[in-house]
Amino acid sequence: MVAGRNDPCPWSERTGLRLPWAFLREIGLGIEEIPAAHSDFGYGRVGFVSIIGRPNVGKSTFLNKTLGYHLAAISNRPNTTRKRWLGILSDAESQIIFADTPGVHASSNKMQEAMAKTVRAEIEGNDTIVCLCDATRAFGDEDRQVAPLAQNSSKPVTLVVNKLDIADASQAEEIQDAYLALLGDVSVFHVSALTGSGLDPLLAHIRCLLPEGPFLFPEDQLTDVIEREIAEELIREAANECLWEELPQSIIVKIDTWSENAKKVKIAATLFVERESQKSIVIGEKGAMANRIIKGAREKLRESVDKFVDVKLSVKVALDWQNKKRFLEDYRIVDSKR
């Protein structure tokens, strides 16, 4: 099974929470007190890992490559990730639960403020931090925001220098030294999230940082979200690939209906924009742009669900939705409990 189950944490019906080990230790709850149902999932090194970094550093690419599954939307443009995604990597001896967070940057609207809160909450609640940096870009203002978040967390921090497939050694050393000047004495790994180079020793290191306990998820579960949410991300990714220059941050997707049989999945989705002028851009002349988006989404979804996929797409306007808290809550970008 690749997508999340309807109840990824069996005890969430009673608590309403998914609690990382760090929080359980803070409230004095021992491993032996975790509901017995979890012992059926296995036992070993287990914990939550926050992936943080500036926008477009490769966090979602890192998560997707680690899991071997296209979970989070990716783009060569910044701020593609808008909310927290859990990716679950299980083997016989460990279960690493990664939280892919939005890129750290200055906030200019309610959506970006919510994204910043998500990053802070994940850092506070999880067991260890992977601080990802981009070897192809000079150390800048956004990096200066990322490093203190990690350094002040009191959690074990691992610095991961990414994009070694296209960066040279001097670039990697320069960004590494700039981060270490703020982070202090932390472990450093050089990787390419795109190719997977360097990921195995990094994962071995992360496992050693996690406490022992019963696994929280079945071994075949890769995420805590359901297939519909993954489909929304893939459709948005397809739209971004077609429209980034025109509508860099104005698109959000909602699955309206989902039906399937053994051979086919039928999806009806709505793509929201913020203004009427943007709606005409998305549709295009005689529907040409909408058809391009549908074609791209269908290809991504077919790979994800391993079935033929039929996609119908509507385009609607939700005025200034990035500043509407209720809209952001309804579409799970803002957590109403935070």
- Residue 62 tokens, joined: 């890192």
Most confident of 72-86, 106-120, 189-203: 189-203
Q: Does pLDDT of 178 surpass 70?
A: yes
Q: Is 119 left (phi over 0), alpha (psi -120 to 50) or beta?
A: alpha
Q: Does pLDDT of 38 surpass 90?
A: no
Whole-model pTM: value is 0.70
CA distance linking residue 84 with residue 33, whole number of Å: 27
Under DSSP, is residue 265 helix (H, G, I), strand (E, B) or coil?
A: strand
CA distance linking residue 259 with residue 242, whole number of Å: 26
Between 100-104, 232-236, 260-264, 333-337, the lowest mean confidence (pLDDT) is in 333-337
Residue 103: alpha-carbon gap to chain centroid? 10
Quickly state the pLDDT bin for 315 (edges 50, 70, 90): very high
Q: What domains does the chain contain, in order, with CATH numbers?
A: 12-214 (3.40.50.300), 227-330 (3.30.300.20)
pLDDT of 46-70, one tens digit each? Answer: 998 989 888 889 888 898 899 988 7
Picking from 311, 305, 318, 268, the residue whose alpha carbon sits closest to that of residue 291 is 311
pLDDT recorded at residue 120: 60
Over residues 253-270, the mean pLDDT reads 92
pLDDT recorded at residue 82: 53
Quickly state the pLDDT bin for 25 (edges 50, 70, 90): very low
pLDDT recorded at residue 223: 82
pLDDT recorded at residue 12: 35
Sign, Cα dihedral of 145, 137, 109, 226: negative
Residue bearing the bigger pLDDT, 96 or 32 = 96
Quickly state the pLDDT bin for 248 (edges 50, 70, 90): low
pLDDT recorded at residue 1: 37
Instruction: Please report, rounded to a whole number, the percentage of residues in the chain having pLDDT higher than 70.
Output: 75
Quickly state the pLDDT bin for 6 (edges 50, 70, 90): very low
pLDDT recorded at residue 237: 87
